[in-house]
Structure 1
Amino acid sequence: MSRLPHPHTVPANACDVTPEGAAWLASAETYPQGLLTGWRARPTAPAVLSCGTVFDVVSVPAVFGRRMVDRLWHDGPGSGPVATHRGRMLLFAAPGTARRLPSLLAWEEWGSAVPSLLCHGAGDAVTVPPLAAGPGPDDRLGSRWLVAPDSRHPWLPGADVVLWACVRAAREAGGSAVRISIFPPRDQGAKVYDVSRRR
């Protein structure tokens, strides 16, 4: 029978989840001990976890997600846990991000270089990679951890940080052809009055 590593051991692979990280992931479920027991029996099997209380997940196409993660680590505060599954990158974010991010994205002026982002929050669930890398059913799904959870309380970016990474990734993808503003678009039909001479 496979077991979770001892709480004080370092994982063999940097992309393996630590016992503290596994406990954090399991805390998203109503019965975390049942999930941990299942993982002990099958550490190379993916799991489905609930979003909205412990974390939200922003799912983006893999290439764009890679640009976002690069920006977060090279120019920003870093990222929370990050995984890949079925050709998409899953960025774990603070609870509430899934609710706020779509309105922040709608407010921006996007070019055609920005893909659609799927935001998973309260009432949603996502499939996460196994705790440990190795042969298993996840191989054909391209499911693995890029930044594995390694603590009981990992730092999670909020909607503002994820938006910042989106803007930087879109600029990088589109070069100078994509104009991204932090201001909403002007109303082209609005009347403009010169009030500088009024007394």
Structure 2
Amino acid sequence: MPHASAEEDRRQESARGAARITAAGADWLAAAGAGPRPQAERCPGAPAVLSCGRLFDVVSAPAVFGRLLLDRMWEEGPGSGPVAAHRGRMLVFTTPGTAARLPALLSWEEWGGFVPALMFHGRGDAVTVPPLAAPGGGDPGVAPRWLVAPGARHPWLPGPEVLLWACVRAVKAARAVAGAVRTGAPAGPYGPISPLPDPGANVYDVSRRR
């Protein structure tokens, strides 16, 4: 059976902050070579290990900065591909090659300490992702889960330039929050200052992605 086009697959993704993987999304993960579907059948609550570098790379960020990064991508940019939360970090799935290219792009910017240690997983690396059916209960800010679950056989993935742009925007947002805390100012360049985002909330509207 021929695969649907990438555009058709995108339209099949769930309408808001997809937290459950579709059958098409599971097929995409299984194609990474680590076999998450059989593992999920043996132990539905177990995380899966996936190989990077062929279908995707992964950029891993601490949860709070990762949330700022994703907020910028969704509020001002093209959105994101699949994103998982695991062990206090956000795993952003990107185009293959991003892990090799993005560190050099980031090195050209002056971050002033606002960009924490990012981790880049590319060819030869593997990542642990949440189970296909995330277990219920537990602390939503800690339990492994999908913030934007794979919902297509050909999910759209951001490349290194998109991640660089999002990091620049996230740093501006972080500086605005830090400045408001220091001065007591009610607003910054991104509008009213609110507390740092909850890294556990699902707020990404997949239907808005182009």
Instruction: Sort the TM-score into its range (normalised by shorter chain).
Output: 0.7 to 0.9
- The answer for the alignment partner of 1:192 in structure 2 is none
Q: Which of 24, 27, 43 is the matching residue for 1:23?
A: 27
CA offsets, 1:116-152, max 9 Å, x none? Answer: 1101000110000011122499989621100000000
Structure number, greater radius of gyration:
1
TM-score (norm 2): 0.72
Structure 1 residue 51: deviation in Å? 0.5
Structure 1 counterpart of 2:192:
none
Give me the whole-angstrom Cα distance separating, in 2, the residues matched to 1:122 and 1:137.
Answer: 33
Query: Which runs of 5 or more structure 2 residues have no equivalent in the other structure?
Result: 1-11, 180-210
The one-letter code sitting in structure 2 at the alignment partner of 1:118 is: M
How far apart are 1:43 and its partner, in Å? Answer: 2.4
**Contact between 1:28 and 1:51, CA under 8 Å: does it hold in 2?**
yes
- Cα RMSD for the two superposed structures: 2.5
**Superposed counterparts of 1:97-116, under 5 Å:** 97-116=98-117
8 A Cα contact 1:45 1:137, kept in partner: no
Which residue of the partner structure matches residue 87 of structure 1?
A: 88
- Per the alignment, residue 42 of structure 2 pairs with 41
Q: Counterparts in 2 of 1:1-199, with a 5 A limit?
A: 14-29=18-33, 32=35, 35-135=36-136, 142-175=143-176
**2-side partners of 1:66 and 1:107: how far apart?**
23
> Quick one: percent identity of the two aligned structures?
61
- 1:60 counterpart SS class: strand
CA distance 1:71–1:139, shift in 2 (3 Å): closer
Aligned residue pairs, count: 164
Amino acid at match of 1:24: W
Q: Distance in 2 between matches of 1:60 and 1:117?
A: 5
Relative contact order (alpha carbons < 8 A, sep ≥ 6): 1 or 2 greater?
A: 2
